[in-house]
Amino acid sequence: ESVREVLKDYTTKAKDSPDNVHVITVDLQQTLPTPKLSSGPAFYKRKLWTYNVGIHNCGTGKGFMFMWDESIAKRGSDEIGSCILKYVTSANVKAKKLVIFTDNC
């Protein structure tokens, strides 16, 4: 069975029974240089890198974004885990089962 089919099955379960299953997908976006400049002397200066983690609730179709820059934290497993924990607590997830799909972020 392909991952897309498994995701589709879990999404259907999340929509039909949100108290039992909560399904999210997580993606770490490509790093964003801040500020974004195209030319001039400032282009060659050190840029501040900004990170963005997107979490999509498959049951409701709503998306949540978590952004920070490299002066606050890096982009490792601890940071991604913190974003997921923040989502679960702020979205008040109370389902018995949390299913997370992610790429290799």
Q: What is the pLDDT of residue 1?
A: 72
The tens place of each residue's pLDDT in the chain, 105 residues long, gives: 799 999 999 999 999 999 999 999 999 999 988 877 666 666 667 778 999 999 999 999 999 999 999 999 999 999 999 999 999 999 999 999 999 999 865
Q: Please give the span between the terminal C-alpha atoms of the chain, in angstroms, as a whole number.
A: 23
Question: Which amino acid appears at position 64 of this protein?
Answer: F
Contact between 24 and 101 under an 8 Å Cβ cutoff? The reply is yes
Cβ proximity of 43 and 37 under 8 Å: yes
Query: What pLDDT does 81 receive?
Result: 96
Q: What is the pLDDT of residue 35?
A: 75
pTM: 0.85
Q: Buried b vs exposed e over 52-91: b needs ≥16 C-beta within 10 Å?
A: bbbbbbbbeeeebebebeeeeeebeeebbeebbeebbeee
Q: Please say whether the beta carbons of 69 and 48 come within 8 A.
A: yes
Comparing C-alpha atoms, which of 90, 94, 86 is closest to residue 17?
A: 94
